[in-house]
Amino acid sequence: WSAAAEVFKGQPMIWVYGPPGIGNSTFGAGGPKPIFTQTEAGVENLNVARFPVPTTLDEFLRNLTLVANEPHDYGTVVIDTLNGLMDLYCKAKKEEKGYDFVTFSGHSGWGGVARDIKVDLFPLLTKCQQRGMYVVILAHAGEYTRKNPFGDDLVVAPPSLPQQVWKELHGQMDASGRAAYVYTT
pLDDT tens, residue by residue, 45-82: 899 999 999 999 999 999 999 999 999 999 999 999 99
Which parts of the chain fold into alpha helices (H)?
Answer: 2-8, 24-29, 57-69, 82-97, 110-130, 163-170
pLDDT at 47: 93
pLDDT at 180: 81
pLDDT band at 28, cuts 50/70/90?
Answer: very high
Task: Give pLDDT tens digits for 100-154.
Answer: 555 444 455 677 778 888 889 999 999 999 999 999 999 998 777 878 888 888 7
This model's pTM is above 0.75:
yes
pLDDT at 19: 85
pLDDT band at 167, cuts 50/70/90?
Answer: confident
pLDDT at 104: 45
Between CA 35 and CA 32 the distance in angstroms is 9
Is the pLDDT reported for residue 99 higher than 70?
Answer: no
Between CA 6 and CA 26 the distance in angstroms is 22
pLDDT at 98: 63
